[in-house]
């Protein structure tokens, strides 16, 4: 399973360095365990998902994930209604959705690449609900980068199904803007920056002050540069004076997970994990570009790998402006996406070498059918042998 062992080692080193650094800085073990838990959940979920993908029927797993995605939205609303009463749609994305918006965008991407079953269409409908309720500038940027690899195969992917989906979404959006009334402002306000009377970006000010704080304390000494400040280290951010000034503190991860990893565990722990995550990001982008450009057999393994790739890409982009490790739900989805990518990609490559699947490539000589044996040879050699075999059986040879 290429990529699994470096990933497990990187997360383990990050948790170990962040915990030891915290203990050396006098931080409470209970705080260290609480803040480190989402990272451990991320690793455990990724490992479990990888093992499941490598051993289970891919088609059944694909259907199960569609049902799970659909059930996630429904159960979230039901639990919220039973426990806390009426749902406030202005804050519902914090109460219910967690990190599910990024996987929802990934489902839309897989629709363009593979088409969807009826169950998955239901899950995609719930994905639209998630997207509709979760519109923020961060998610819009994540969606743009997630969908960008599809541009490589736009001339092949644009068809009646995709055009129909775009038309339906456009009609829905226009109808909401025309007839949504005051409710529209709940969504449009999230797309505009909050500014002070002098034109200062309120959100950017607070985040930049936090980023500056983390960078300063990361570079403060050789010890913090190498091993960081610990999981329960305190970060401080400030408000503009025009809105009252003042400051607030947070513990652990702040509004940039990439900086937070270095702030917490230094180059040894955070830098190692960042290197692995960005390597996964690069491979995920390349996989989606290749799928967008190529004609393939609709493999369920490739569907799982593509969905995992999209989740990884979205999480990496979102972590520039937020922190997925601040939420157990977000960390769970990130782990699922990582496990899908590692497991499905590894299993597809293994079965490709055994001759059990078709090669993902542009149209060319016919590959052996599913289930036929084939020597583990390079594709070019296999195509040459197939051509020679056809010549030997030709009546005009």
**235 and 214 Cβ atoms separated by less than 8 Å:** yes
246: left (phi over 0), alpha (psi -120 to 50) or beta: left
Q: Is residue 306's pLDDT more than 80?
A: yes
Rounded-to-integer distance, Cα 299 and Cα 352, Å: 11
What's the whole-number mean pLDDT along residues 311-335? 89
Q: Is residue 36's pLDDT more than 50?
A: yes
Chain position carrying tokens 């570079």: 219
Based on its alpha-carbon atoms, the radius of gyration of the chain, rounded to whole angstroms, reads: 24
Q: What backbone torsions phi and psi does residue 26 show, to the nearest 5 degrees?
A: 75, 20
Q: Is residue 20's pLDDT more than 90?
A: yes
Angle, CA 172 vertex, CA 133 and CA 316 arms, to 5°: 40
Q: What does the pLDDT look like over 251-262, one tens digit per residue?
A: 889 888 999 999
Q: What does the pLDDT look like over 264-292, one tens digit per residue?
A: 999 999 999 999 999 999 999 999 998 88
Report which DSSP code applies to 268.
I
Q: Is residue 361's pLDDT more than 60?
A: no
Give the HSE-up count for residue 227: Cα atoms under 13 Å, Cβ half-sphere: 12
The more confident residue out of 104 and 126 is: 104
> What integer pLDDT is reported at residue 368 of this predicted model?
42
> What integer pLDDT is reported at residue 188 of this predicted model?
56
Q: Is residue 374's pLDDT more than 60?
A: no
Q: Is residue 166's pLDDT more than 70?
A: no
> What integer pLDDT is reported at residue 362 of this predicted model?
40
Task: State the virtual CA torsion across 302, 307, 311, 313 in degrees, nearest 10.
Answer: 50
Q: Which residues contact 362 (CB under 8 A, 6 or more apart)?
A: 293, 294, 295
> What integer pLDDT is reported at residue 174 of this predicted model?
66
pLDDT bracket for residue 329 (50, 70, 90)? confident
> What integer pLDDT is reported at residue 135 of this predicted model?
62
Q: What backbone torsions phi and psi does residue 249 show, to the nearest 5 degrees?
A: -115, 150
pLDDT bracket for residue 195 (50, 70, 90)? low
pLDDT bracket for residue 46 (50, 70, 90)? very high
Rounded-to-integer distance, Cα 281 and Cα 314, Å: 9
Write down how long the chain is: 397
**104 and 116 Cβ atoms separated by less than 8 Å:** no
């Amino acid at each position: 399973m290429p990529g699994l062992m470096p990933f497990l080692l990187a997360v383990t080193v990050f948790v170990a360095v962040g915990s030891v650094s915290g203990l050396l800085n006098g931080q409470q073990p209970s705080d260290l365990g609480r803040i480190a838990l989402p990272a451990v959940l991320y690793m455990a979920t990724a490992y479990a998902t990888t093992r499941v993908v490598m051993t289970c029927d891919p088609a059944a797993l694909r259907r199960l994930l569609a049902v799970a995605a659909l059930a996630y939205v429904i159960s979230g609303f039901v639990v919220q209604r039973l426990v806390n009463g009426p749902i406030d749609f202005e804050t519902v994305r914090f109460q219910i959705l967690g990190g599910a918006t990024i996987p929802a965008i990934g489902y839309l991407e897989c629709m363009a690449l593979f088409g969807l079953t009826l169950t998955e269409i239901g899950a995609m409908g719930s994905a639209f609900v998630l997207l509709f309720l979760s519109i923020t500038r961060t998610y819009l940027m994540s969606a743009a980068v997630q969908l960008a690899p599809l541009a490589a195969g736009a001339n092949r992917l644009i068809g009646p199904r995709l055009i129909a989906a775009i038309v339906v979404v456009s009609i829905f959006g226009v109808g909401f803007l025309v007839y949504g009334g005051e409710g529209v402002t709940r969504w449009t306000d999230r797309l505009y920056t909050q500014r002070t009377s002098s034109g200062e970006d309120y959100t950017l000010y607070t985040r930049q002050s936090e980023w500056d704080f983390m960078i300063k304390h990361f570079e403060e000494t050789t010890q913090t540069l190498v091993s960081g400040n610990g999981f329960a280290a305190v970060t401080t951010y400030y408000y503009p004076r025009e809105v009252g000034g003042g400051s607030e503190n947070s513990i652990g991860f702040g509004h940039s997970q990439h900086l937070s990893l270095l702030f917490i565990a230094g180059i040894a722990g955070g830098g190692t994990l960042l290197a692995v995550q960005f390597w996964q990001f690069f491979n995920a982008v390349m996989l989606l570009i290749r799928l967008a450009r190529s004609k393939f057999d609709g493999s369920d393994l490739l569907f799982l790998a593509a969905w995992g790739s999209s989740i990884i890409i979205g999480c990496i982009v979102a972590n520039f402006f937020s922190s997925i490790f601040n939420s157990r739900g977000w960390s769970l989805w990130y782990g699922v996406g990582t496990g899908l990518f590692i497991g499905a990609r590894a299993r597809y490559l293994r079965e490709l070498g055994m001759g059990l699947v078709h090669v993902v490539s542009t149209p060319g000589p016919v590959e052996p059918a599913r289930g036929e044996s084939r020597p583990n040879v390079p594709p070019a050699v296999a195509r040459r042998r197939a051509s020679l075999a056809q010549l030997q059986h030709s009546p005009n040879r």
